[in-house]
Amino acid sequence: MAIAIRLASQGHKVQVFEKNAYPGGKLAELKLLGYRFDKGPSLFTMPKLVDELSELGNTEGKFVYKKLENITHYFYEDGTKLIASSDKNKFAKDIAEILGEDKMAVLKHLSKSAFYYDTTAELFLNQSLHKIKNFINFKTLKGVFNAPRLALNKTMHQKNNSAFKNEKTVQLFNRYATYNGSNPYKAPALLNIIPHLEFGLGAYLPEKGMHQITEHLYDTAKKLGVKFYFNSEVEKIELKNNAAVGVRINGQLYPGDLVVSDADIHVLYNKLLPNEYAPKKLLNQEKSSSAYVFYWGIKKEFKELGLHNILFSDNYEEEFNHLFTKHKPYGDPTIYINITSKYCEADAPKGCENWFVMINVPHNKSGKAIEYADELRKNVVSKINRILKTDIEKLIEVEDKLDPLDIEKQTSSFGGSLYGNASNNKFAAFLRHANYSSKINGLYLVGGSVHPGGGIPLCLLSAKIASNLIKDDLN
């Protein structure tokens, strides 16, 4: 939808083909007996990217969001609790008082995160890494000059472990690797750029929940004349003289001067372009984690919980060892609980809460039914009861779930992998697929499995990069 808006605003006639009956992909919603849930992404950062699209479609003012004062509530097994304030000084002060860290060490770490962002954002996030001309400029020279200060030879955990003395603080900052489905014990220290998105640029929530992003982009695109076709799964991308000339749906050709794919690159090459060159190295890379989500309507309000809540595993390294080596969920998983009814009262009946309960799990490379579902639910319930001192089963009024197999079926994400390839090596930023095909003219790529990565902000940036490439190529 983002690239449809950008191309339509440039005067192009744009058609969007969607396999589901609704727009938005992972950013959908679920309604159950008076409860409303955002089905997928729950954290909103870099809202300016949505604002840019509003400006292009002249829909400014119709998308309202608020900045969060408190970002995340953290809970540890030994009873330690910490609320991460959006105020960096308060956050650092609270960590110093509760976890015994040096306040200046926390502020220094956040400052380093900001440095990573300022040094690399223009190079890695806002332009294609696959065009030689983009490396012959001041922004690239700045990044090269500062390379020794980017800890390129250290893992995220190594950098965090050297910055803090309390393993709880290390665990808190290691958690940011999960924002792109990676392992902090293998992922590069450069991923410490992510905290800056929250503490430097701010964490937000749309006025009516995350699905409001989808609704707003859909309305903006339609206002610009974009035509949507739902229940229209693309069978293949049609080629002629090594150029993309349209898509085929139910045997019918829908012609176009160029084609943009937001499908996972596995689906693109194995299904939509089955007889064409496939970049095997990219396709064979380690995949990001997936998720198992429970949607629970809870007949109680928990005052100690906020919008974003983390119940940490007591052995974080072993949890990631299970995710990426043993390929099964850990018995003591870290649990994320998102409760939008804390801010959006209409999302749950009065006195109740809408719990989005997510656990990181391996991507489902077998393609078979999930075998660990019952055991995982049992472990999740046990941990919630233990940490929150409750009996959550008695409070669950309605329930639904989303597992890796569901994610793959609904969004064509390979094995339910949420972010395409994992970033578990120091060259990860350079090992994502380009936003265009180097083999097929007129074929461009956006979405979480290509540059610059997964998650709402990076997917929106992929649309911006691809639309600029298209504009340059057409000129």
Strand partners, 84: 72
C-alpha dist (Å) from residue 180 to 228, 290, 335: 29, 10, 16
Q: What is the pLDDT of residues 279-303, one digit of tens each?
A: 988 898 899 999 999 999 999 999 9
Candidates 374, 366, 376; CA nearest to 405 is: 366
* Mean of pLDDT values over 1-24: 97
* Mean of pLDDT values over 445-460: 93
Answer yes or no: pTM beyond 0.75.
Answer: yes
- Residue recorded with tokens 């390294």: 317
List the single range of 45-59, 243-257, 275-289, 322-336 with lowest mean pLDDT: 275-289
Alpha-carbon distance of 444 to 271, in angstroms, equals 16
Question: Which residues fall within 8 angstroms of residue 333, CB to CB, at 6 or more apart?
Answer: 313, 319, 359, 360, 376, 379, 380, 383
Is the confidence at residue 269, as pLDDT, over 60? yes
Q: What is the pLDDT of residues 150-190, one digit of tens each?
A: 667 899 999 999 999 999 999 999 999 999 999 999 999 98
Q: What is the DSSP letter of 322?
A: I
Angle between helices 456-474 and 48-56 (to 10 degrees): 40
How large is the greatest C-alpha to C-alpha distance in the chain, in angstroms? 66
Is the confidence at residue 134, as pLDDT, over 60? no
Long-range interactions of 241-245: CB distance < 8 A, separation 24+: 242/439, 242/440, 242/441, 243/440, 243/441, 243/442, 244/437, 244/440, 244/441, 244/442, 244/443, 245/442
Candidates 8, 50, 28, 3; CA nearest to 457 is: 50
What is residue 130's predicted lDDT score, i.e. its pLDDT?
A: 61
Alpha-carbon distance of 267 to 450, in angstroms, equals 13
Could you tell me the two tokens for 208?
A: 């009516």
C-alpha dist (Å) from residue 454 to 52, 280, 394: 19, 20, 36
Cα 6 versus chain centre, distance: 21
Given a contact cutoff of 8 angstroms between Cβ atoms, the answer to whether 440 and 434 are in contact is no
Strand partners, 41: none
pLDDT band, residue 432 (cuts 50/70/90): confident
**Strand 70-75, strand 308-311: pairing:** parallel
Q: What is the DSSP letter of 210?
A: T
Q: What is the pLDDT of residues 368-426, one digit of tens each?
A: 899 999 999 999 999 999 999 999 999 999 999 999 999 999 999 999 999 988 988 87
Q: For the chain, give the mean pLDDT.
A: 93
Angle between helices 88-99 and 103-120 (to 10 degrees): 140
Given a contact cutoff of 8 angstroms between Cβ atoms, the answer to whether 469 and 285 are in contact is no
* Mean of pLDDT values over 465-473: 95
